[in-house]
Amino acid sequence: MIKFIASSTVIYKNLLALNDVAGTNTSQPILDNFLFEISNNKLRVTASDLQTTISTNFDIESDSEGNICIPAALLVDSLKDFPEQPLTFLIDIDNGSCEIVSDFGKYNLSALNADEFPRAISIENPGKTVVPADILALAVKNTLFAVGNDDLRPAMSGVFFQMTPENTTFVATDAHKLVRYRRTDVKSDHVAEFIMAKKPLNILAKSVLPSADENVSIQYNEQNAIFTTERMRLVCRLIDNKYPNYEAVIPKENPNHLLIRRATLLESVRRVAKFASKSANQVRLDIAGNELVISAKDPDYGTQAKETLRCDYDGNDMTIGFNSRYLLELLNQLDAEDMRLEMSEPSRAGIIFPAEVTDEHEDMLMLVMPIMVS
């Protein structure tokens, strides 16, 4: 018999952080469960879908030791309705049962042998680096939205981590837009690269990083990566593919520079885009002198819109078209009051930067591919 006592809110909060992984692999019923490991007044709980494994540990009161698997969905659903109080868990491994005793009554769940639960992998001779949790959270936030969903391009379905002794670069693209987020204050002893899929990145951002106090340790090889904080551990399978040469699509010579308030451009594009063709979502930018004309039309429905904005512009008169959806995604994500749009010619990508650098260690670049203006 295993017995332990835990705070209802503490255990619920910790299990909720694992719930996006548990029960998502329907091929193995054991993965519908949490693995409970009780030892030295600590409870370690693990969830896995084989591709991603996440675990958390926290303090409990217990004189027992042992492991058991408990149904994840029913346990989380039950715990959310308890006010703060101590809960007593009585686990009978031989009979496969778990009884929870609260101030209100008793509740019984089935339990499975822990030996059936897959063990988390370990990495021999891994590459290692340490990243402050807040910087890693910022890197994920600035890139995850730009990840692609094309199954035929698996490399683009994740964020590219590129670590060197000089800096660390995070890249995401869906072939229509691209984000390159670089940190000069995050470095590795040697050059290393890997692609991390969208699901474990979402879990990392949602469940692991918010609870991390300071640093995140990252270990990796060609197949897997492990992210470890004081309280949580995330193991994920990496995307086995070569990332495209993203630097090749970034125009190096962009003599035409437009400077404008980000919110002003965002709001104007949002209004005008409602009148664009639903097939292309095209907005047209005509730039001459210090005047920017944003327009859109849908010949099939006879709708059109045009707005004129003041801007600071240095370059040749330019007419360029963009898919409004991709442009709006980038403008929404950019954290800057003023922005700079650099262009070379109408057939080449537009490059978006924050107008002012507020963090000397941060280098943010966004790219949006053009649409041929009819």
pLDDT tens track for 258-293:
999 999 999 999 999 999 999 999 999 999 999 999
pTM flag (> 0.85): yes
pLDDT at position 151: 85
Percent of the chain with pLDDT over 70: 100
- The SS3 of residue 163 is strand
Give backbone dihedrals phi and psi of 224, rounded to 5 degrees, phi first.
-140, 160
pLDDT level of residue 301 (50, 70, 90 thresholds):
very high
Q: 213 pLDDT exceeds 90? A: no
pLDDT level of residue 189 (50, 70, 90 thresholds):
confident
Q: Give CA–CA dist 106/11, Å, rounded.
A: 17
pLDDT level of residue 373 (50, 70, 90 thresholds):
confident
| Tokens at 19, concatenated | 């719930």
pLDDT at position 369: 97
CB atoms within 10 A of CB 296: 24
The answer to whether residues 44 and 16 touch, using CB atoms and an 8 Å cutoff, is no
Beta-strand pair 215-220/282-288: unpaired
pLDDT tens track for 50-64:
999 999 999 999 999
Burial of 373 (0-12, 13-18, 19+ CB in 10 A): middle
**Contacts with 26 (C-beta within 8 Å, 6 or more apart), sequence order:** none
**127-247 placed in CATH 2.170.150.70:** no
Q: 352 pLDDT exceeds 90? A: yes
| Tokens at 148, concatenated | 């692609």
Beta-strand pair 215-220/66-71: unpaired
Q: 374 pLDDT exceeds 90? A: no
Q: 175 pLDDT exceeds 80? A: yes
pLDDT level of residue 102 (50, 70, 90 thresholds):
very high
Q: Give CA–CA dist 37/45, Å, rounded.
A: 6
Give domain 2-116's CATH number out of 3.50.50.60, 1.10.645.10, 3.40.50.2300, 3.10.150.10.
3.10.150.10
Which residue ranges make up each domain of the chain?
2-116, 127-247, 250-371
Question: Which of 121-130, 239-248, 304-313 has the least mean pLDDT?
Answer: 121-130
Q: Give CA–CA dist 370/342, Å, rounded.
A: 12
pLDDT tens track for 15-24:
999 999 998 8
Q: 123 pLDDT exceeds 80? A: yes
281: closest CA among 329, 322, 231? Answer: 322
Taking 3-state DSSP, the helix, strand and coil percentages for the chain, each rounded to the nearest 5, stand at 20, 45, 35
pLDDT tens track for 55-97:
999 999 999 999 999 999 999 999 999 999 999 999 999 899 9
pLDDT at position 26: 74
Percent of the chain with pLDDT over 90: 90
The answer to whether residues 20 and 203 touch, using CB atoms and an 8 Å cutoff, is yes
285: closest CA among 332, 317, 250? Answer: 317
Q: 211 pLDDT exceeds 90? A: no
pLDDT level of residue 120 (50, 70, 90 thresholds):
confident
Q: Give CA–CA dist 43/69, Å, rounded.
A: 13
Beta bridge partners of 128: 219
The answer to whether residues 293 and 305 touch, using CB atoms and an 8 Å cutoff, is no
pLDDT level of residue 358 (50, 70, 90 thresholds):
confident
Q: 165 pLDDT exceeds 90? A: yes
pLDDT at position 228: 94
2-116 and 250-371 agree in CATH topology? yes
pLDDT tens track for 142-157:
999 999 998 889 999 9
pLDDT at position 139: 96
Architecture of the domain defined by 250-371: Roll (3.10)
The answer to whether residues 131 and 181 touch, using CB atoms and an 8 Å cutoff, is no
Question: Which of 24-38, 84-98, 191-205, 257-271 has the least mean pLDDT?
Answer: 24-38
